[in-house]
A and B are shown apart, each in its own frame.
Chain A
Amino acid sequence: MKQVPDTTEIKIDPVTHTLIREGVPNIVNPYDTYALENAARLKDADPSVNIVVVSMGPEQVRTALKECLAIAADKAYLITDRAFGGSDTLATSYILSQAIRKIEALEGYTFDAIFCGKQAIDGDTAQVGPEIAEHLGLPQVTYAVELSVEGQSCKVIQQGPEYRQVIAVDLPCVITFTQPDFDVRYPTIKRKMKANRAKIDAITAVDLSEIDLTRCGLKGSPTHVKSTFVPVHDNHIVMFEEETVEESAVKLADVLNDAHII
Chain B
Amino acid sequence: MEAKTKDLWVFIETKEDGSARNVGLELLTPGRTLARDQGGDLVAVVIGFGADAAIAAAAGQGADKVIVVDGEEYQHYNTDAYAGAMTHLIEKYGPTTLLIGATSYGRDLGPRLSCRLGSGLTADCTGLAINPESGIMEWTRPAFGGNLMATIVCPDGRPQIGTVRPGVFKKQPPVEGAAEIIREDFHMPAEEIRTHLLEVIQEAAEEIVDLEGAEIIISGGRGVGGPEGFEPLKEMAEVLGATVGASRAAVDSGWIPYAHQVGQTGKTVAPKLYVACGISGAIQHLAGMSGSDTIVAINKDPEAPIFEVANYGIVGNLFDVVPALTAEIKKLKN
Binding site of B, secondary structure by majority: helix, strand, loop or mixed?
Answer: mixed
Please pick, from A123, A127, A129, A245, the residue contacting B321 in the complex, using a CB distance under 8 A.
A245
Chain B residues near A127: list those with CB within 8 A. 110-111, 114, 121, 123
**A160-B200, A252-B325 known; A226-B152 Cβ under 8 A:** yes
Per-position binary interface string of chain A over residues 218-262, scored 1 when its CB falls under 8 Å from any chain B CB and 0 otherwise: 000111111111110101111111000110111011111101011
Nearest B residue to A132 by beta-carbon distance? Answer: B115
A223 to B203, CA, bound (A): 40
A162 to B116, CA, bound (A): 28
Please pick, from A89, A168, A221, A248, the residue contacting B195 in the complex, using a CB distance under 8 A.
A168
Q: Is the CB of B111 within 8 A of A228?
A: no
Q: Is the CB of A229 within 8 A of B321?
A: no
Chain A residues near B71: list those with CB within 8 A. none
Q: Is the CB of B112 within 8 A of A130?
A: yes
Q: Is the CB of A126 within 8 A of B149?
A: no
From B107, B118, B317, B322, name the one whose CB has the most chain A CB atoms within 10 angstroms. B107
Per-position binary interface string of chain B over residues 277-290, scored 1 when its CB falls under 8 Å from any chain A CB and 0 otherwise: 00000101010001
Per-position binary interface string of chain B over residues 186-207, scored 1 when its CB falls under 8 Å from any chain A CB and 0 otherwise: 0000000011111111110000
User: Is B258's CB within 8 Å of the partner chain A?
Assistant: yes
**A139-B195, A168-B196 known; A248-B321 Cβ under 8 A:** yes
Binds B, one of A58-66, A140-148, A186-194: A140-148
Binds A, one of B46-54, B168-176, B302-310: B302-310
User: Is B150's CB within 8 Å of the partner chain A?
Assistant: yes
Please pick, from A8, A167, A238, A240, the residue contacting B198 in the complex, using a CB distance under 8 A.
A167
A179 to B258, CA, bound (A): 9
Please pick, from B152, B307, B317, the residue contacting A223 in the complex, using a CB distance under 8 A.
B152
Q: Is the CB of B144 within 8 A of A5?
A: yes
Q: Is the CB of B203 within 8 A of A163?
A: yes
Nearest B residue to A12 by beta-carbon distance? Answer: B147
**A122-B143, A127-B110, A226-B138 known; A245-B104 Cβ under 8 A:** no
**A166-B199, A179-B265, A233-B308 known; A161-B112 Cβ under 8 A:** no
A19 to B148, CA, bound (A): 7
Tell me how many residue pairs across A and B have CB atoms closer than 8 Å: 246
A173 to B194, CA, bound (A): 10
Q: Is the CB of A237 within 8 A of B332?
A: no
Please pick, from B111, B201, B210, B296, the residue contacting A131 in the complex, using a CB distance under 8 A.
B111
Chain A residues near B17: list those with CB within 8 A. none
Number of B residues whose C-beta is below 8 Å from A?
84
Binding site of A, secondary structure by majority: helix, strand, loop or mixed?
Answer: mixed
Q: Is the CB of B328 within 8 A of A253?
A: yes
Binds A, one of B59-67, B154-162, B177-185, B219-227: B154-162
Q: Is the CB of B314 within 8 A of A239?
A: yes
Q: Is the CB of A165 within 8 A of B152?
A: no
User: Is B229's CB within 8 Å of the partner chain A?
Assistant: no
Chain A residues near B329: list those with CB within 8 A. 253, 257, 262
Chain B residues near A179: list those with CB within 8 A. 258, 265
A143 to B107, CA, bound (A): 10
Chain B residues near A19: list those with CB within 8 A. 144, 147-148
User: Is A55's CB within 8 Å of the partner chain B?
Assistant: no
User: Is B313's CB within 8 Å of the partner chain A?
Assistant: yes
A229 to B143, CA, bound (A): 10
User: Is A50's CB within 8 Å of the partner chain B?
Assistant: no
**A160-B200, A249-B314, A252-B314 known; A225-B152 Cβ under 8 A:** yes
Chain B residues near A123: list those with CB within 8 A. 143
Please pick, from B105, B149, B311, the residue contacting A231 in the complex, using a CB distance under 8 A.
B149
Taking beta carbons and an 8 Å cutoff, which residues of B are in contact with A?
21, 79-80, 103-105, 107-108, 110-112, 114-116, 118-124, 138, 142-157, 194-203, 208, 210, 216, 240, 258, 264-265, 272-273, 282, 284, 286, 290, 293-294, 296-297, 307-317, 320-322, 324-325, 328-329, 332
* New A-B contacts (16) at CB < 8 Å, excluding given A19-B147, A229-B149, A233-B308: A130-B111, A139-B194, A155-B198, A159-B104, A161-B105, A223-B121, A224-B153, A228-B143, A228-B149, A237-B313, A240-B313, A245-B320, A249-B322, A253-B325, A254-B328, A255-B312
